[in-house]
Amino acid sequence: MSTTTRLAAEDPSVTESTRNVGVYDRYHRLDAVDRNAAEMLKKYCTTNSRSNATATRLANRSTVQSFLTAAPLAAADFLSLYSCLFLTSAVFERLTGISNTQVENQTAFFVSLVILPIANLAGLYPGLGLGSVVEFRQLAKALFAAVLVFAGIGWFCFPKLWVFYAIVAMVAFGVGLPMIMSTRFLVRQIVKRFSWWGAPTLIVAEPQRGQDLARRMQHEIDQGFRPVGLLVDSSQYWAVNHSQEASQVPIYDIRSADEAAVKLGATWVIVSPCANREMAPILDKSLAAIPNRILLSSSQTDMSIWDQMFCIGSSAGLRFGGAHPSSLELAAKRALDLFLTSIALVIGFPFLATICLLIRLSSRGPIFYSQNRIGLGGREFRAWKFRSMQKNADQVLETYLANNPAARWEWNETHKLKNDPRVTAIGKFLRASSLDELPQLWNVLLGEMSLVGPRPIIDSPTYDASYVYEYSEEFEAYKTVRPGLTGLWQVRCRNSGVYELRIYWDMYYIRNWCVWLDMYLIMRTIKTVLMREGK
C-alpha cells in the first residue's frame, strides 16, 4: 500500500489534491527509469480519463461501420476466387480428360473461404485509406497463400492429381489477381453511392485547407473516408464564413468534437499539420472520444506508402523506406522488364505489323519517328514511336501557336495540345490509345528504358526546358532511374493538369518505387488504355 493510500485510510482529512499528488508519484518514479515513458503515460492517462458513454457509443458504431464496409469487399473476394478456381479447373478438365468435379468444387469453395481470414490479417478489411498499390501487394500475398492451400490439398489428398492441382493453382493466381482487383473496383463504384458504406470522418485543419482536403477525400470516396465535418479552433470558428454554399462540409468548434461526432456518426478524425495542435491526436483531449485518429504527414515528417510504425522501447517510431533500391531490387525490375517485354513483342507482333501498314497507307513519311531523350545518368538515347504527325510538324506547330493565343497558353501550361494540328488521322487514334508508344518496347529491351518509370524528357526549349533548368533538383532525381514506357503521370492525369503535376508524380514514383508499384502500374495502364482515361 502506498503512503498516500495509507494516510487516506487513517486520516479522513487527506484532501483530493493530496491523493492526486500520490497518483502522479508513479510517473515521477517511472521518470527515473524512462523520462519519455513517464511523460507519455501521464499525458495519456490525463487525456483518456474521460471514459464516458459517448466514447463507448462511437466505438460500437465504428465496429458496425467496419463490418458494413468490409462485407461487400469480402463477398467480392470470395466470389472472384471461387469463380476463378471453378472455371480454371473446368477448362483443364476438358483439356486433360480428368473428371473430379465434385471434389474440386468443394476444394474451391473451401479455399475461397480461406482467403477471407488471410485477407483480413493482411489489412484488406475494411481497407479504409488503403492505397491502391498497397492493396495490390496485400491481395497478391493473400491470393498466393490461398492457391498454395489449393495446391497443398491436391498434393496431400489426391497424390495422383497433384500436377493438375499445381497447374490450376498457378493459372488461378495469374488470372485471379486482376479479376479480384477489377471486382473490388466495380464493387466500390457501386457501394460508394450508399451512405451506409465507408466511414464518416471529421477533419481537423485550418478552414481553407480543411475544405480542400474534404474535396480531395470526396473525389476519392472509394478509399472509404467520407468527410462530414471540419473541426477548427475557437478563434477560427467565429471568424469563418458558415454559409453552406461556401463550405464543402459543415464547420464545428473543436471543443464540441464529441458532440459533432455523435451528431454526424463520425468515428474517424484526420488531423492536418496545418491545424497546429499541440498534442498528437491520441493525446488531444478534444478528440479523446473519437475511436480512430490519424495524423497526416507534414513537410517535416513526410511519409511514403511503404513507411511503417515500429516500437522502440515504450515509444513508437516511423520506419522510412530506403533512399535507394538495392542491386537485387534493381535486378528484379530489369528481369520483369525483359520477361514482360519479350512476351508482349511475341504475342503482339501481328498487331504491330497492322499498325505499320495503316501508317504507311494513311500519310507520306516514315513509319517510325525517333527523338533524343534524356535517360539514366543523363545519357541521351533515341526513343522510338510510331509516327503520328505530319512530316513538317514543327513548322505547322509554330504557325498554329502564333495564330491561336489560347493554344499558346495551353502549350505553355501542359506542353501538349488537345487539338493538335500536326497529328494525322491514324495518329489521333494511336495517341488516344497510347499505341504510338509501343515501339519503345525496343528501348526497354536495349536497357535504355524500363516498362515503368518517369516519362523520358527532352532537353529542348520548346518541350521540357522547365524540368531541366527550373527544377534542377528534381531533374537530378530523374536521372537516377531509367525513364519508363508508362508511369504514375500517365495513369493519374496524362494530358490533364499543369506540367508541374508530371514532375510531382515523377518524384512520387522515385521515392516510393518497388516491384509491387511497377506491377500495379502495368495493370493500371491496361485499364487506362482500354477505358481511354486521362486523354
Asked whether residue 409 is assigned to any structural domain, the reply reads no
Residues 163 and 125 grouped into a single domain: yes
- Per-residue DSSP letter, 456: P
Per-residue pLDDT of the chain in tens (535 residues, 90 and over written 9): 444 444 344 444 444 444 444 444 566 666 666 777 777 677 767 666 555 788 889 999 999 999 999 999 999 999 999 999 989 988 888 887 776 665 678 888 999 999 999 999 999 999 998 888 889 999 999 999 999 999 999 888 888 888 888 999 999 999 999 999 999 999 999 999 999 999 999 999 998 889 999 998 998 899 999 999 999 988 888 777 555 455 678 999 998 999 999 999 999 999 988 777 777 777 788 888 899 988 887 766 777 788 777 766 556 677 777 667 888 989 999 999 999 999 999 999 999 999 999 998 888 888 998 999 999 999 999 999 999 888 777 777 778 888 888 888 877 776 677 778 788 888 888 888 888 999 999 999 999 999 999 999 998 877 788 888 888 889 999 999 999 999 988 888 766 667 788 888 899 899 889 899 999 999 998 888 887 665 5
What whole-number distance in Å separates Cα of residue 85 and Cα of residue 173? 9
Q: Which residue, 121, 115, 101, is CA-closest to 183?
A: 115
Q: How many CB atoms are closer than 10 A to CB 9?
A: 10
Comparing C-alpha atoms, which of 146, 116, 136 is closest to residue 177? 136
Strand (E) or helix (H) holding 486: strand 484-486
Three-class secondary structure of residue 200 per DSSP: strand
CA distance 263 to 1: 45
CB atoms within 10 A of CB 351: 12
- Shared domain for 457 and 501, answered yes or no, is yes
| Composition of the chain by helix, strand, coil, percent to 5 | 60, 10, 25
Is 293 among the domain residues? Answer: yes
For residues 64 and 89, membership in a common domain is answered with: yes
Considering the domain architecture, whether residues 278 and 344 belong to the same structural domain is answered as no
Ramachandran sector of residue 240 (left: φ over 0; alpha: ψ -120 to 50; beta: rest):
beta
| 253 sits in which H/E element | strand 251-253
Q: Are residues 363 and 433 in the same domain?
A: yes
Cα–Cα distances (Å) from 226 to 56, 202, 231, 249, 262, in that order, read: 21, 8, 15, 10, 15
* Same structural domain, 58 and 34: no
**416 part of a folded domain:** no
- Residue 380: phi and psi, rounded to 5, are -85, 150
Domain encompassing residue 10: 3-52
> CB–CB of 6/25 below 8 Å?
no
Closest alpha carbon to 257 in 270, 242, 240, 244: 270
CB-hemisphere CA count at 13 Å for 403? 7
Domain shared by 481 and 434, yes or no: yes
Task: With respect to residue 393, please indicate whether it lies within any of the assigned structural domains.
Answer: no
Confidence (pLDDT) at 21:
43
Is 160 a domain residue? yes
CB under 8 Å, gap of 24 or more: what pairs does 375-383 form?
375/448, 375/449, 375/456, 375/482, 375/483, 376/448, 376/479, 376/480, 376/481, 376/482, 376/483, 377/479, 378/479, 380/459, 381/443, 381/446, 381/448, 381/449, 383/440, 383/443, 383/448, 383/449, 383/456, 383/483
Structure-block grid coordinates of residue 22: 500520490
CB of 477 within 8 A of CB of 510?
yes
Among residues 427, 421, 432, 425, the alpha carbon closest in space to that of 399 is found at 421
**Where among 137, 167, 191 does a domain terminate?**
191
Place of cell 458558415: 242
- Residue with grid cell 527523338, as numbered in its chain: 371
Residue 201: what pLDDT? 95
Query: Could you give phi then psi for residue 98, rounded to 5 degrees?
Result: -80, 135
Q: Which residues of 152-174 are buried (b: 16+ CB within 10 A; e: fewer)?
A: ebbeeeeeebbebbbbbbebbbe
Does residue 413 sit within a domain? no
- List Cβ neighbours of 70 (8 Å cut-off, separation of 6 or more): 120, 125, 126, 127
Give the phi and the psi of residue 381 in degrees, each rounded to 5: -145, 165
Same-domain pairing of 258 and 372: no
Q: Which residues pair with 318 in a beta bridge?
A: 309
CA distance 192 to 223: 9
Q: Which amino acid is at 384?
A: W
Fill in the DSSP letter of residue 287: G
Q: What is the pLDDT of residue 345?
A: 94
User: Which H or E run includes 384?
Assistant: strand 380-386
Q: What is the pTM of this model?
A: 0.80
Whole-number Å distance between alpha carbons of 214 and 269 = 12
Instruction: Report which DSSP code applies to 389.
Output: B
User: Domain ends where: 191, 224, 247?
Assistant: 191
Side chain identity, residue 172? A
* pLDDT at 317 (0 to 100): 72
Residues 121 and 231 placed together within one structural domain of the fold? no
Q: Are residues 58 and 91 in the same domain?
A: yes
- Domain membership of residue 306 (yes or no) is yes
Verify that 489 and 359 share a domain, yes or no: yes
Tell me if 33 is assigned to some domain: yes
Query: Strand runs (DSSP E) across 30-162, as ranges?
Result: none
Alpha-carbon span 51 to 38, nearest angstrom:
21
Shared domain check, 494 and 377: yes
Domain boundary among the residues 161, 191, 221 is at: 191
Total domains present in the chain: 4
